[in-house]
Amino acid sequence: MKKNTIKNIGTSDFVNMGPIRLRQPLPTRQIDMIDPFVLLHHYGPYEISETHNPFDLGPHPHRGFEPVTFLVQGEQLHRDSLGNESVVKAGDVQWTTAGRGIIHAEKPTNEFVKKGGIIEGIQLWLNLPASKKMISANYQHEKHEDFHKVISEDKKVVTKVIAGTLDNKHGRIVTQTPVNAFMIDAKSGGTENISFPDTHQGLLYLLKGKVRINENEMLELDGPQLIQFNQDGEGFTLKAEADSLMLFLSGAPFNEPVATYGPYVMNTQTEIMEAMRDYQMGKMGFLPVN
Ligand code: MN
């Protein structure tokens, strides 16, 4: 396997999103976007209790991309303007295709808040190409136990294939564009090779632990946490130096202009203005606060 060389090594610094403090590995001052990936938020781990519940996102719209949540710990209630209401558990993935418009809301379930516990997850904004920005909205929720897994030779690394393909195992998520999304859970000392097409841009984000990439670069919490690969190989190797959790993403870039504002990702400023107007006119649907 010809290894991909490393284009950028990024940190995952804290930002404030309203009252919520979370890590934002993408975009950063160094890395603007990794086409087709626009934004990555790593929220938590937060201690949630009845007196402290900082992660309650009321109804808000999206257009022009796919907001994806990888829930790592806890339990969230999802509601949206398509009429979906589902409880998302640790390890589950919710893949929303906002398309022309959706309104959704996210919060820890009432039961979970009452009991107390830890909430942690990743929110990804995956862009849609111009030709698909105005398709109908869609919501996919896949449960953690249903994903196909690839086990390393040393049995220490389990890779969940969420979307795309790895070693002839296929993801359960239906994607709009060529995309891989793998959650990699590695025990200390475990090694694995992850391959992906040379037509994709790839990135690896570390949520927990310490990992060596291509026998060279080290990722660790409170240090470099994200690697962007060059499009010049067939994959990479990893070796866990501690029990570690990683998200690998790759996708074929669109090479289109990107205009983002608030919850919208479009190609032009005019389309952003249209999105704001359409939301106000109720064209993205309705979702009651509750
Ligand atoms: Mn949202």
Which tens digit of pLDDT belongs to each residue from 83-139?
999 999 999 999 999 999 999 999 999 999 999 999 999 999 999 999 999 999 999
55 CA to centre of ligand 1 in angstroms: 12
105 CA to centre of ligand 1 in angstroms: 7
Asked if residue 183 has pLDDT above 90, the reply is yes
Please classify residue 157 by burial: count the beta carbons closer than 10 Å to its beta carbon, then call 0-12 exposed, 13-18 middle and 19+ buried. buried
Task: Give the model's confidence band at 153: pLDDT under 50 very low, under 70 low, under 90 confident, else very high.
Answer: very high
45 CA to centre of ligand 1 in angstroms: 19
156 CA to centre of ligand 1 in angstroms: 34
The pLDDT of residue 18 is: 82
62 CA to centre of ligand 1 in angstroms: 7
Please classify residue 130 by burial: count the beta carbons closer than 10 Å to its beta carbon, then call 0-12 exposed, 13-18 middle and 19+ buried. middle
Asked if residue 286 has pLDDT above 90, the reply is yes
18 CA to centre of ligand 1 in angstroms: 13
CB contact at 8 A, 156 and 211: no
Work out the mean pLDDT of the chain and round it to a whole number. 96
128 CA to centre of ligand 1 in angstroms: 15
Weakest-pLDDT range from 56-60, 166-170, 172-176: 56-60
Distance CA 25, CA 182 (A): 17
186 CA to centre of ligand 1 in angstroms: 29
83 CA to centre of ligand 1 in angstroms: 15
Task: Give the model's confidence band at 55: pLDDT under 50 very low, under 70 low, under 90 confident, else very high.
Answer: confident
227 CA to centre of ligand 1 in angstroms: 25
71 CA to centre of ligand 1 in angstroms: 14
The pLDDT of residue 53 is: 84
Asked if residue 290 has pLDDT above 80, the reply is no
66 CA to centre of ligand 1 in angstroms: 10
The pLDDT of residue 144 is: 97
The pLDDT of residue 251 is: 98
106 CA to centre of ligand 1 in angstroms: 8
CB contact at 8 A, 269 and 259: yes
Bigger pLDDT: 289 vs 182: 182
Asked if residue 17 has pLDDT above 90, the reply is no
117 CA to centre of ligand 1 in angstroms: 22
Mean pLDDT of 163-180: 98
Asked if residue 19 has pLDDT above 90, the reply is no
Please classify residue 64 by burial: count the beta carbons closer than 10 Å to its beta carbon, then call 0-12 exposed, 13-18 middle and 19+ buried. buried
| Strands, sheet with 226-229, edge to edge from the N-terminal-most edge strand | 6-10, 226-229, 201-208, 244-251, 179-186, 157-163, 148-151
The pLDDT of residue 56 is: 85
The pLDDT of residue 116 is: 94
Tell me the per-residue pLDDT of 201-248, one tens digit each, with 9 for 90 and over.
999 999 999 999 999 999 999 889 999 999 999 999 999 999 999 999
32 CA to centre of ligand 1 in angstroms: 20
20 CA to centre of ligand 1 in angstroms: 13
Q: Which domains does the chain have, with CATH numbers?
A: 26-146 (2.60.120.10), 148-256 (2.60.120.10)
Highest mean pLDDT pick, 11-20, 73-82, 281-290: 73-82
Task: Give the model's confidence band at 31: pLDDT under 50 very low, under 70 low, under 90 confident, else very high.
Answer: very high
